[in-house]
Structure 1
Amino acid sequence: MSLALARRASAEFAGTALLVAAVVGSGIAATRLSPDDVGLQLLENAVATALALGALILMFGPVSGAHFNPVVSAVDWWLGRRAGTGLTGRDLAAYAAAQTGGAAAGTVLAHLMFGLPAVTWSRTGRAEGHLWLAEVVATAGLVVLVFALARSGRTAAAPAAVGAWIGAAYWFTSSTSFANPAVTVGRALTDTFAGIAPASVPGFVAAQLVGGVVAVAALAVWYPHAADTADAVVLPHLTRENEAR
């Protein structure tokens, strides 16, 4: 792995770790602060996640693009592979590994900050069909959003727009919008408010991948030249030339 790719992968690891720490940590805090009000717990969890996601995009976007999501990275590679933009196959492998490892590390970090065991396997089953449909919708919407922002030259709005989508999807989807295979894996390691049982992970990940395919089809219709700006997803990141300086 080149130094430049290692730098970007480390940003994806750290960013995804902090994102999952925000998701899991705010869920733990919410159940402690509002033990008798599940609706308020969800609100607290959603607001913290949306705000943290926006801040993390600002922090890591100039380094790696702030994908924090294997589906976003996979679509970036798929659309850009012929145009010579976006991630290479090697980049995609490094990003996906960093994102998944970061998600696991984020759960451990959240647990340790709240005085819990490093890992507690979730017992929250989420295996119903309507939850899978919700994940298709949440993931497809997220992917279309970030590529639409790049194609229309509005990447400066990505922190607010992506945070807003995820925060809103907490409420309008029955799954509370995981929309991210790496985050899903990380959330299997916590038996707290944000957890998902390991047995439910494959169904969620499959639905998220379907959401990515749906997004590719939608982009082909609505933004047929999205591949031209794949380097700007989620935020414009450092070029290989700049990274070498």
Structure 2
Amino acid sequence: MCFLSEKAIPRSLLPQGAWTLEAEDALGTLKAYAFITEREESDVYDIHRLVQLAMMNWLDKQGELGKWTEKVMRRIEEAFPLPEYDSKREWLGYLPHARHALDGQTTVDDVKVDLLFKLALSFTILGQYREAETMWRRELEGRGKLQGPSHPETLRTINNLGNAVQNQGEYEKAEAMYRRALEGWEKALGPDHPDTLTSANNLGTILSERREYEKAETIFRRALEGREKVLGPDHPDTHVNVDNLIKILEKQERHEEAGEIRLRVRKPSPS
């Protein structure tokens, strides 16, 4: 508990043995000495900041601070589900504790980097893009050290970081991220890989936001050609690309061309 945020600690975040009789006795002792308090809602606790500091100092003197830091990180990453909008109630209570545990961490390993990914995705779902950007940048630094700049996970993080800064209206930074991801995907997986085409489509979107319509059109056509070839004309990602191309043509007042593409993709297949 001394590694977590001091308010609203859910029992489900404690070690897996938190529901045993031994754990029940331990929690009872902590409550009896007022080291922790249980809220009206069952199995949710608060701990005073001074108690946390005293415990951290004791662990440090015992030479066990590093060991428990790693144990806590593994437990939080294990308990924290992959964030999705529909399961927000499930992971929202873990978010401040994961953030608090990661604050001040300078070493990187797979557990911490995976937890940074979950936090970044959580803040993205919540629309807190500046917080998401901070987590994506920390994840990117970790992935670069652990897996290298050209690893697929590193490239996905670059793309996600581009999305975070785009959502804050920082289009120039977003373009740089998307170009970096696109270049990496092309080298690692080739020009027609779905991840490469997704980066291309993202780049086209940001060029459109910056009113560079001709460049955006070129990118959208390239992505559409690749998606039709790899995913087929009826795939949802292909449809997204078609819509983007139509929009960019209409922004250039090329309505006839946009209409032709719309008719072509909606033309029923022969039975």
Tell me the TM-score range normalised by the shorter chain: under 0.3
Q: TM-score, normalised by structure 2?
A: 0.24
**TM-score, structure 1 normalization:** 0.26
Structure number with higher relative contact order (C-alpha < 8 Å, ≥ 6 residues apart): 1
